């Protein structure tokens, strides 16, 4: 059931320090690698949200041991992967695309399904690739079934990953356990969100996996051992952008502690985006601090590699002076919802002026008013409505519960930020 939520308005400039939970993207990559490693691993500071709990539950159903730690982390003990098992993917792209290549190494039948909208998300690329690599897969989208034989031959495969970088990452994560390793060649329009593939490659190399990514649109993983290790998960920078946006739209100041000095997370790009829109951005021992301007400026920006930031940037744009054009994000039509259409619909429903383009959207300044902001069961749509509600009275988000996908208690964190207590 959806949970309507009256977005709280800011009584003045927001001033707060907001600790942000671990990265969903890193957590779910780490969980897959820990499950396939040569011994037990420890994961410190993982994100505990719907997407990551679904991943842990799915791996557990295949025979992987998970023990809760007092510090909120997990001790992960690999086991012989086996079915039968039923995997609930929810609406998590990382579960529905990262887990099947690992599950193909199991013995037995593994059935995958998820939320109703998950059945509409593109899956044929990764499932077709698994067939080409020697796996037995029945179906081309959720629900589908893997008939595991305990191993996968592997080899070379050509795919079109222009709709999601997760297709590449999902195959890479398990490739070292395939008999011949895997060589992936992309043939199509540019792969979106390349930083996420860089994240996958870096994570694989940290556990001793040999990855050759030196040729454009080609990735080669040699067969070999995935080493067990202790992990420390970075804060989720994409989730952090929502709280930084609160400083931007209210002329306040928000600090995110423990911002990494170097990272492969695409969310790090928010620093440059906010500066272009008129904010002051500072990295110090305290973390990343953003100070908002008297008025935000519109921007013309290509978010192809940082497309997950589109809802946050669109919310900022709806409150800015001057036109904002967001380009390069055609692929987000296949995310939790068609995010381009959803953003245009909801900005316009509150009195804004937004139009779709072939690969993005254009937002022109217009006075906004209160009303229902629809989330479309999409966590980033929900948080975009919360940003607008800070300065536009009467905004109501129709499904704030969707934020549990990546933030366990978004309303609580939002309220704490507004009172300076986060």
Query: Smallest Cα–Cα separation from 47: which of 68, 74, 27?
Result: 27
Q: Is 29 annotated as a binding residue?
A: yes
| CA 30/CA 354 separation, integer angstroms | 39
Q: Is 24 annotated as a binding residue?
A: yes
Structure tokens at 191: 């792969």
Q: Is 193 annotated as a binding residue?
A: yes
Q: Per the structure, how many domains does the chain have?
A: 2
Which residue is it, tokens 């070292």?
176
Residues 222 and 262 in one domain: no
CA dihedral for 128, 130, 134, 140, sign (positive or negative)? negative
Q: Is 61 annotated as a binding residue?
A: no
Q: Which domain holds residue 253?
A: 5-21+235-418
Residues 367 and 266 in one domain: yes
**Tens of pLDDT, residues 131-150:** 999 999 999 999 999 999 99
The C-alpha torsion from 418 through 419 and 420 to 422, rounded to 10°, is -80
Q: Is 121 annotated as a binding residue?
A: yes
Answer with the one of 183, 201, 232 that is the final residue of a domain: 232
Residues 337 and 274 in one domain: yes
Q: Is 308 annotated as a binding residue?
A: yes
Residues 414 and 382 in one domain: yes
Residues 269 and 153 in one domain: no
- When pLDDT is cut at 50, 70 and 90, the band that residue 336 belongs to is confident
Centroid of chain to Cα 150: 30
Cis peptide before 84 (omega within 30 of 0): yes
**Tens of pLDDT, residues 266-289:** 999 999 999 999 999 999 999 999
Q: What is the mean pLDDT of residues 169-177?
A: 98
Instruction: Give the model's pLDDT for residue 2.
Output: 61
Residues 41 and 127 in one domain: yes
The residues, any chain, with a CB within 8 Å of residue 230's CB and separated by 6 or more, are 41, 42, 44
Q: Is 25 annotated as a binding residue?
A: yes
Q: Is 369 annotated as a binding residue?
A: no
Residues 362 and 322 in one domain: yes
| CA 300/CA 357 separation, integer angstroms | 13
Percentage, residues of the chain above pLDDT 70:
99
Instruction: Give the model's pLDDT for residue 421.
Output: 58
Q: What is the mean pLDDT of the chain?
A: 95
The residues annotated with a catalytic role in the active site are 308
The C-alpha torsion from 170 through 20 and 230 to 62, rounded to 10°, is -40
Centroid of chain to Cα 10: 27
Q: Is 93 annotated as a binding residue?
A: yes
Residues 226 and 246 in one domain: no
**Tens of pLDDT, residues 27-43:** 999 999 999 999 999 99
Which residue is it, tokens 């059931």?
1
Answer with the one of 200, 232, 264 that is the final residue of a domain: 232
Answer with the one of 232, 256, 290 that is the final residue of a domain: 232
* Domain CATH for 327: 3.65.10.10
| CA 208/CA 199 separation, integer angstroms | 15
Query: Smallest Cα–Cα separation from 352: which of 384, 317, 383?
Result: 317
- When pLDDT is cut at 50, 70 and 90, the band that residue 3 belongs to is low
Residues 113 and 194 in one domain: yes
- When pLDDT is cut at 50, 70 and 90, the band that residue 1 belongs to is very low
Residues 175 and 43 in one domain: yes
Residues 86 and 167 in one domain: yes
Residues 377 and 254 in one domain: yes
Instruction: Give the model's pLDDT for residue 192.
Output: 87
């Amino acid at each position: 059931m959806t949970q309507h939520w009256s977005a709280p308005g800011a009584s003045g400039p927001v001033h707060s320090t907001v600790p942000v939970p671990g990265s969903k993207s890193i957590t779910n990559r780490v969980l897959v690698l820990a499950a396939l490693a040569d011994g037990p691993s420890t994961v410190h500071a993982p994100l505990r949200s719907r997407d990551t709990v679904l991943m842990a539950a799915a791996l557990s159903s295949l025979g992987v041991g998970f023990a809760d730690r007092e510090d909120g982390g997990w001790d992960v003990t690999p086991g012989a992967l086996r079915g039968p098992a039923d995997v609930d993917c929810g609406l998590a792209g990382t579960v529905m695309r990262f887990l099947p290549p690992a599950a193909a190494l199991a013995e037995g039948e593994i059935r995958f399904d998820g939320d109703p909208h998950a059945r509409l998300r593109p899956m044929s690329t990764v499932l077709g690739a698994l067939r080409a690599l020697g796996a037995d897969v029945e179906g081309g989208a959720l629900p589908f079934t893997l008939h595991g034989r305990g191993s996968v031959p592997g080899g070379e495969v050509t795919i079109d990953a222009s709709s999601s970088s997760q297709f590449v990452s999902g195959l890479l994560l398990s490739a070292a356990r395939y008999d011949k390793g895997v060589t992936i060649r992309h043939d199509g329009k540019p792969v979106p969100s390349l930083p996420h593939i860089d994240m996958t490659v870096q994570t694989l190399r940290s556990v001793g996996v040999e990855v050759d990514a030196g040729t454009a649109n080609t990735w080669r993983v040699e067969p070999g051992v995935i080493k067990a290790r202790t992990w420390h998960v970075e804060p989720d920078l994409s989730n952090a952008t929502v709280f930084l946006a609160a400083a931007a739209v209210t002329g306040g100041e928000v600090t995110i502690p423990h911002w990494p000095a170097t990272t492969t997370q695409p969310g790090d790009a928010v620093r440059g985006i906010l500066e272009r829109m008129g904010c002051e951005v500072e990295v110090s021992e305290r973390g990343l601090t953003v100070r908002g301007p008297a008025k935000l400026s519109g921007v013309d920006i290509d978010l192809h590699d940082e497309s997950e930031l589109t809802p946050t940037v669109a919310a900022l744009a709806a409150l800015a002076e001057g036109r904002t054009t967001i380009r390069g994000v055609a692929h987000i039509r296949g995310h939790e919802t068609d995010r381009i259409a959803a953003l245009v619909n909801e900005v316009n429903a509150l009195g804004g002026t937004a139009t779709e383009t072939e690969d993005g959207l254009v937002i022109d300044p217009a006075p906004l008013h209160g009303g229902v902001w629809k989330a479309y069961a999409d966590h980033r749509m929900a948080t975009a409505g919360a940003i607008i509600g800070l300065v536009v009275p009467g905004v109501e988000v129709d499904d704030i519960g969707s934020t549990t996908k990546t933030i366990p208690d978004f309303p609580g964190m939002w309220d704490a930020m507004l009172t300076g207590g986060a």
